[in-house]
Structure formats: C-alpha cells, structure tokens
Amino acid sequence: MIPTLLVRPPSGLPLRLQPGGQLRIGRKVGNDIVLDSTQVSREHAVLVWAEEAERASLMDLGSANGVTLDGVKVQGSRVLGLVGTIQIGIMKITYEQEDGGSDIAASFNLPDDSESFVLERGEQFSGTFDDADDLADTLRGLERAKRSGTLRVTGVEKEGVIQFAQGLVMSSSWSSLSGLAALEKILKIPEGRYVMVSRLVPSDEFLNLKISEFLARGF
C-alpha cells in the first residue's frame, strides 16, 4: 500500500500527498492550498515527501510571518508526525497519515532535529490518585482505549513520565532512571496527580509493553 498523507485545508476538499509529491501553500492563486489571509505570504510554505522518505516534511519558504507545526515554529524544515496541525496566522491545516507506512518504532526514532510529534488528536486530561492501585487503573484505561501521548505523574517529591503509543508503553523515565526500572518507581507512587498530553518526544527507547501484562507479573 502506498503511504498517503491526508491534508485538510481550512476550506475545500481534503488533499492527498504521496512519496515523490509536494503541496505548495500560500496566498497566491495557483498554490495547491490557497489561504486567503494577509498573514499568509504569496508563496508561504511547502509540504514535501521525498521519494525514499518515511514521512513528509514541512518547509518554510522564507515567509514573513512563519509557520508552526503542532505549535512549534518551523526553522527551515521539520518532519511531520502521523497526525498534527500546521498553522499560519489564524489559518489551520490538519493532516494525518492514512496507512501504516511508518510503524510506531519509527515514530520513536525520528531524526535528531525532530523535537516532538503527535500520533493522535485526543484531548488533554488530568486527575489525581489516592494510591498505587488508582494509578494502575488509569494506566490500564489508557491501554484499553489505545491512547497515544505523554503521561506525567507527579508524586510528593518527583515526577515520572510514561509515553504511550496506541495503548502500549514506549518509554518511561524517573529521575536518572529509564525503562522498566523507571516504570516500577512510577507505579509505586503512593498518591499524586497526572496529566496526559498528546505530544510525544522521539526516543531511542522502545519498550513496546502492555501495562496490564507488566502489572500482572508483579514487580
């Protein structure tokens, strides 16, 4: 199956981008995506998918007002995630990769200049837990819902981070610890609060772990 990026402009029909193609964005008629706003340059940015690349990239064409990708200003060019938002002024363009051309592991091994990426558009949520069992139930819920994002768990003294992709634990950190050792520490926090956001950070770590199985084994 040919990888395809589905791009949704603020108005009009969705566009599809495949390897070897590009979509030009600007105010001038003739661009693939025409944005009628004075905040948009005549030739503002371009989405490019190189023939052999796993992902498309967004490039700023030297615009006056710049362009952001998932809230981060693009300097030169940036690799897209699986889903996300491109914004120029008040104009928003959403996108999502329709196929499995890049697997989850590839998402966690993006180029070094990729600061973060998004796998879903799920809403941020937060809550508190009174004991370790409450926290474990929350993690099982994320697995069942196949959520993707970063869960920050804060106890009395320290904060732990667990990254999920489609319900699987991809990485975890706690102080100087990482991996399973960090996950064990987080799961032992007696009480605290948590916040889940959709943004993920590339990592060499790839646990690919079901939290329900990890909890069932005991630690």
Q: Do residues 20 and 2 lie in contact, with contact meaning Cβ atoms separated by under 8 Å?
A: no
Q: Do residues 107 and 81 lie in contact, with contact meaning Cβ atoms separated by under 8 Å?
A: yes
Give the DSSP H/E element, type plus range, for residue 150: strand 149-154
Give the DSSP H/E element, type plus range, for residue 215: helix 211-217
How many whole angstroms from its chain centre is CA 68? 14
Q: Do residues 93 and 9 lie in contact, with contact meaning Cβ atoms separated by under 8 Å?
A: yes
**Which pLDDT score, from 0 to 100, does residue 19 have?**
93
**Which pLDDT score, from 0 to 100, does residue 152 have?**
95
The one-letter amino acid code at 177 reads: L
How many whole angstroms from its chain centre is CA 84? 7
**Which pLDDT score, from 0 to 100, does residue 209 have?**
87
How many whole angstroms from its chain centre is CA 112? 15
The one-letter amino acid code at 95 reads: Y
Cα distances (Å, whole numbers) of residue 100 to 18, 116, 195? 13, 19, 28
The ranges of the chain with pLDDT < 50 are 100-102, 112
**Which pLDDT score, from 0 to 100, does residue 66 have?**
97
Strand partners, 83: 96
Sequence-separated (6 or more) residues with CB below 8 Å from residue 163 = 108, 149, 150, 151, 169, 170, 171, 172, 200, 201, 203
Cα distances (Å, whole numbers) of residue 70 to 61, 121, 137? 18, 11, 30
Q: What is the DSSP string of 151-176?
A: EEEE-SS-EEEEEEETTEEEEEEETT
